[in-house]
Each structure stands twice: as structure tokens, then as C-alpha cells.
């Protein structure tokens, strides 16, 4: 048996994969070999979904068919009984609890739920990826005492989500910004939630179960939940003038600053620069740059003091807040995008599977003698 690796499986390579490459030293991120900077400039989230699942960029004909399917009401709509399930939940249920519960419930209505064949998995993949934004937006409306807004098949995934959240079609800048944010969050190698999906898929469990496992992992503040915590920090700081004293105090108290550091990147996360640009463009459009200015000051101090860098979660919330999205919806938005990556990894795991079952080095007592309770 090999020796125990570093805590948290740090630097442990568990298997090969063709889906995503991260260069932690150079700060590079590739989806199926394509640099994230090129995909942000030239692609779209819907095309990136195709790329992740199929392993190549689509032809015009393939893309048209894929976009038609991912926007189709038949794939986007929630089963009517799902709305009744959502209405039965306490209004205080957090959006991430609704995402976890909702995806689990969706499997009960999915005709292919128990079929792990690639064709059935692609059909389920299309449905779950198309339904997640509808689920997130429906809860936003229900918890505010409003009726959910039906999806609009004429709108892109990005525009349709913002429309279902607010009832208004987004500006072209808001749609483009949100589309880029979805592209940036779509996959990231064997991060905690993706690995949770692969471990579940490796038991030959179904796609919905693997996604629910991933959602549970993403929810944690050390992972996808960090973007929400960053904005709570920004709200606590209140103004750019107070940022420097706040962060100096937090660092002196050895606090963990959300939005910074990464298990793989040793330099700035290549996604952060795009999200900072989006947050700045939207902040200028709405006439409020305070969140970006606060985060810039925090970033300067944290990097100078701790030599750790911004990650994907630092500026994403500032962009979403500028679009009027509530803070506790930031991690559900992360899930709406990352579901594309989770699915790509489940497809890859199922295509060449072996049960994932590591060992532990036992450090407990051996040969303990059982003592009857009367003598304890
Ligand atoms: C995501 O893995 C992925 O790919 C994830 C992700 C994806 O796309 O799927 O990129 C998305 O989850 C991004 C990360 C979001 N999380 C946060 O922003 C939470 C804050 N970040 C940290 O908790 C931390 O940086 C982690 C969890 C992200 C990574 O931590 P590691 O690799 O376990 O490192 P560590 O906690 O052992 O810290 C190493 C050192 C420590 O110093 P010492 O105690 O050894 O002196 O760096 C310090 C830590 O104190 N450190 C931090 C810090 N991150 C690391 N100190 C203050 N604030 C931080 N954020």
C-alpha cells in the first residue's frame, strides 16, 4: 500500500481526463484544449456546453441543433408537480437547498432517470442543464410570493435566466456579461464538487444522483459558497474608504479571506481578470463602482501580506449584484454553470469506469478487548 498523501489529497493525481487542464503555475485554464481567454472572447456558454460534452467545437448544423434543444421549453420547463413541491418548502429555504432538493426531485419525473447509456445521459444532461435556471428563478419568484415566469425559448440561456428572475429582458451588456460568467464557471478539472460527482458515478449510480452529490459539495464556503461570503464581506466593509483598515484588521486576526487562494493556482486565477472586467463594466453602467473599489483594495492588501491571489469567487458576486441578483443566489448560479462540467465528467467516468475507492492509513487502537457494560 502506498504512503499517505498530503492532507486533502493535495497534488494527488487520481486518474486521467481529457476534459479540463489547469496550469497552476502559469495560471492557464483549458476546456478540451481551448484556452478560457479564447472561449470568453469568441464562444458562448451554450457552445461551451457542447464542447465539454462532445469533446470538439460544433459545426454550424450541430450548434443550431444543440441551441434549439437547450432552449426548448420541453427541456427548460419544470414538471407541474415540481412547482407544488417548491411551494411546499418553507419560504426561508436557502436557494442552494432548493437546488439540491430540486435536482433530486427532478429525477423522479425524468423518463430516462435509471438509464446510464450515453444517449439517455445526453437527453438527461440537456434537460437538467436547461431546467436548473428555471428551478433557480422559480424559487426566487415563489419565495417573494410571486408566480414563476415561464421560460422564453427565443432567449439564450443567459438572457432567459435573467428574464425569468426579473420579468424583464436583460440589456445586451447584462446578457453578454452573464453569458461570460457562465462560461468561466463551467468546468475546473477535479475540484471538490466534480470529484464528488465522479465518485458517485463510479458506483454506476445515475446522473441526477451524481449532480446532487456535486451540489452538496459546491455549497460549502471553501468551494462554491465563497462568492456569497465575499459579497457579505463587501456589505460589512460598506465603503471603499473603510476597506484598508477592515482587511488589515482581518489579516492581523489571521482570518480566512473568501475569494482568495486556491489549491492549484499559485498565481492569480485566470478567470478573475474577466470577472473583474465584467463587474467594472456593469458597475459603470449602473453608476456604482464601490464593490469593485472595495475588492481592489482588499486584493492589494491580501496579496501583499499573504502572497495569495484572487480566485474565481472574488469578483463574480460584484457582477451579479450589479445585475440585481440577490447574494444567496450566487452559488446557485455557479451550479447552473458547473452542471455542464459535472455532466462531462460523469459521461467520461461512465465511459471507462472503475469504482473509486481509496484507502486510509489506520491510526486507531488495535486488538481492543470488549468490556461488558456492567464493568465500564
Ligand atoms: C473554488 O478546486 C477548484 O478548482 C475550486 C474552484 C472551481 O472552479 O471549482 O476554483 C472554485 O472553490 C475557488 C476557491 C473558493 N474558496 C475560497 O475563496 C475560500 C477561501 N480560500 C481558502 O479557504 C483556500 O485558499 C482554499 C480552500 C481555496 C485552498 O486552500 P488549501 O489549498 O487547502 O490551502 P490551506 O487552507 O492549507 O492554506 C495554505 C496557507 C495557510 O497558511 P498557513 O496556515 O499555512 O500559514 O495559505 C493560507 C492558509 O492560512 N490561506 C489563506 C487563504 N487561503 C489560504 N489565508 C487567508 N485567506 C485565504 N483565503
Q: End-to-end alpha-carbon separation of the chain, Å?
A: 37
Q: List pLDDT tens digits, range 173-224.
A: 999 999 999 999 999 999 999 999 999 999 999 999 999 999 999 999 999 9
Judge whether residue 20 has pLDDT over 90. Answer: yes
CA dist 167 and 372 (Å) reads: 67
CA 257–ligand 1 middle distance (angstroms): 9
- Within 6 A (CB) of ligand 1 lie 8, 188, 191, 222-223, 226, 256-263, 306, 308, 311-313
Q: Which one-letter DSSP state was computed for residue 167?
A: S
What atom of ligand 1 comes closest to residue 218's alpha carbon? 12
Do 312 and 211 share a structural domain?
no
pLDDT band at 72 (very low <50, low <70, confident <90, very high): very high
CA 191–ligand 1 middle distance (angstroms): 12
User: CA separation (Å) from 74 to 152, 153, 192, 237, 279?
Assistant: 11, 9, 32, 45, 33
**Among protein residues, the one whose CA lies closest to atom 51 of ligand 1:** 261
Do 251 and 332 share a structural domain?
no
**What's the number of domains the chain is made of?**
2
pLDDT band at 337 (very low <50, low <70, confident <90, very high): very high
CB neighbours (10 Å) of residue 111? 10
Q: Say if 143 falls within a structural domain.
A: yes
Q: Which of 184, 261, 263, 337 to mutate to test the pocket of ligand 1 (most atoms within 8 A of CB)?
A: 261
Q: Say if 362 falls within a structural domain.
A: no
Judge whether residue 95 has pLDDT over 80. Answer: yes
Q: Say if 137 falls within a structural domain.
A: yes
What atom of ligand 1 comes closest to residue 10's alpha carbon? 32
Higher-pLDDT residue of 348 and 1 is: 348
Q: Which of 6, 23, 262 to mutate to test the pocket of ligand 1 (most atoms within 8 A of CB)?
A: 262
CATH at 337: 1.10.580.10
What atom of ligand 1 comes closest to residue 224's alpha carbon? 12
Do 133 and 243 share a structural domain?
no
Judge whether residue 79 has pLDDT over 90. Answer: yes
Q: Say if 127 falls within a structural domain.
A: yes
**Among protein residues, the one whose CA lies closest to atom 18 of ligand 1:** 259
Judge whether residue 124 has pLDDT over 80. Answer: yes
CA 302–ligand 1 middle distance (angstroms): 13
The residue out of 322, 338, 368 marking a domain boundary is 322
Do 199 and 50 share a structural domain?
yes
Tell me the Ramachandran region of residue 134: left when phi exceeds 0, alpha when psi lies from -120 to 50, beta otherwise.
Answer: alpha
Q: Say if 359 falls within a structural domain.
A: no
**Among protein residues, the one whose CA lies closest to atom 31 of ligand 1:** 263
Task: Give the mean pLDDT of 19-28.
Answer: 98
CATH at 245: 1.10.230.10
**Among protein residues, the one whose CA lies closest to atom 15 of ligand 1:** 223
Do 180 and 55 share a structural domain?
yes
Do 247 and 179 share a structural domain?
no
Do 265 and 133 share a structural domain?
no
- Domain of residue 103, residue span: 20-221+328-351
Do 234 and 211 share a structural domain?
no
Percent above pLDDT 70 for the chain: 99
β-strand 28-31 against 34-35: which pairing, if any?
A: antiparallel
Percent above pLDDT 90 for the chain: 98
Q: Say if 109 falls within a structural domain.
A: yes
Which of 37, 213, 72 is CA-nearest to residue 156?
A: 72
Task: Give the mean pLDDT of 4-26.
Answer: 95
pTM over 0.85: yes
Do 50 and 120 share a structural domain?
yes
Instruction: List all residues 6 or more positions away from 81 whose beta carbon is below 8 Å from its beta carbon.
Output: 109
| Average pLDDT score over the chain | 97
Q: Say if 296 falls within a structural domain.
A: yes
Q: What pLDDT, on the 0 to 100 scale, is given for residue 4?
A: 81
CA 151–ligand 1 middle distance (angstroms): 37
Q: What pLDDT, on the 0 to 100 scale, is given for residue 1?
A: 64
Q: List pLDDT tens digits, range 227-284.
A: 999 999 999 999 999 999 999 999 999 999 999 999 999 999 999 999 999 999 999 9
Do 273 and 187 share a structural domain?
no
CA 265–ligand 1 middle distance (angstroms): 10
**Among protein residues, the one whose CA lies closest to atom 12 of ligand 1:** 223
CA 17–ligand 1 middle distance (angstroms): 24
Q: Say if 365 falls within a structural domain.
A: no
Given a contact cutoff of 8 angstroms between Cβ atoms, the answer to whether 99 and 135 are in contact is yes
C-alpha cell at 112: 430516462
Q: Name the residues annotated as catalytic.
A: 262, 313
Do 261 and 202 share a structural domain?
no
Judge whether residue 101 has pLDDT over 90. Answer: yes
Q: List pLDDT tens digits, range 151-165.
A: 999 999 999 999 999
**Among protein residues, the one whose CA lies closest to atom 5 of ligand 1:** 191
Do 193 and 99 share a structural domain?
yes
What atom of ligand 1 comes closest to residue 261's alpha carbon? 25
Amino acid at each position: 500500500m502506498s504512503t499517505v498523501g498530503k492532507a486533502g489529497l493535495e497534488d494527488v493525481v487520481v486518474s486521467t481526463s481529457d476534459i479540463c487542464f489547469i496550469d497552476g503555475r502559469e495560471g492557464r485554464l483549458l476546456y478540451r484544449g481551448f484556452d478560457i481567454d479564447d472561449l470568453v472572447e469568441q464562444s458562448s456558454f451554450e457552445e461551451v456546453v457542447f464542447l465539454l460534452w462532445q469533446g470538439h467545437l460544433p459545426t454550424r448544423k450541430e450548434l443550431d441543433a444543440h441551441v434549439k434543444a437547450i432552449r426548448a421549453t420541453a427541456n427548460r420547463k419544470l414538471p407541474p408537480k415540481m412547482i407544488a413541491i417548491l411551494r411546499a418548502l418553507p419560504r426561508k429555504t436557502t436557494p442552494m437547498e432548493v437546488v439540491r432538493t430540486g435536482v433530486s426531485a427532478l429525477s423522479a419525473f425524468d423518463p430516462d432517470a435509471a438509464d446510464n447509456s450515453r444517449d439517455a445521459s445526453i437527453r438527461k444532461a440537456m434537460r437538467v442543464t436547461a431546467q436548473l435556471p428555471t428551478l433557480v428563478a422559480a424559487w426566487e419568484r415563489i419565495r417573494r410570493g410571486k408566480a414563476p415566469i415561464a421560460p422564453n425559448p427565443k432567449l439564450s440561456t443567459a438572457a432567459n435566466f435573467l428574464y425569468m428572475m426579473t420579468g424583464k429582458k436583460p440589456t445586451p451588456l447584462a446578457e453578454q456579461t452573464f453569458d461570460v460568467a457562465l462560461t468561466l464557471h463551467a468546468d475546473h478539472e477535479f475540484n471538490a464538487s466534480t470529484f464528488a460527482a465522479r465518485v458517485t458515478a463510479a458506483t454506476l449510480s445515475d446522473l441526477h444522483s451524481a449532480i446532487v452529490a456535486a451540489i452538496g459539495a459546491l455549497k460549502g464556503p471553501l468551494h462554491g459558497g465563497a462568492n456569497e461570503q465575499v459579497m457579505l464581506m463587501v456589505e460589512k466593509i460598506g465603503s471603499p474608504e473603510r476597506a484598508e483598515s477592515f482587511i488589515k484588521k482581518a489579516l492581523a486576526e489571521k482570518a480566512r479571506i473568501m475569494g482568495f487562494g486556491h489549491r492549484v493556482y499559485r498565481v492569480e486565477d485566470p478567470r478573475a481578470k474577466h470577472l473583474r472586467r465584467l463587474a467594472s463594466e456593469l458597475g459603470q453602467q449602473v453608476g456604482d463602482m464601490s464593490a469593485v473599489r472595495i475588492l481592489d483594495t482588499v486584493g492589494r492588501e491580501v496579496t501583499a501580506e499573504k502572497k495569495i491571489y484572487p480566485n474565481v469567487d472574488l469578483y463574480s458576486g460584484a457582477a451579479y449584484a450589479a445585475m440585481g441578483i440577490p447574494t444567496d443566489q450566487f452559488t446557485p448560479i455557479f451550479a447552473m454553470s458547473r452542471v455542464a462540467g459535472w455532466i462531462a465528467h460523469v459521461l467520461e467516468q461512465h465511459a471507462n469506469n472503475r469504482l473509486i475507492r481509496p484507502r486510509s492509513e489506520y491510526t486507531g487502537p488495535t486488538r481492543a478487548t470488549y468490556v461488558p457494560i456492567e464493568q465500564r
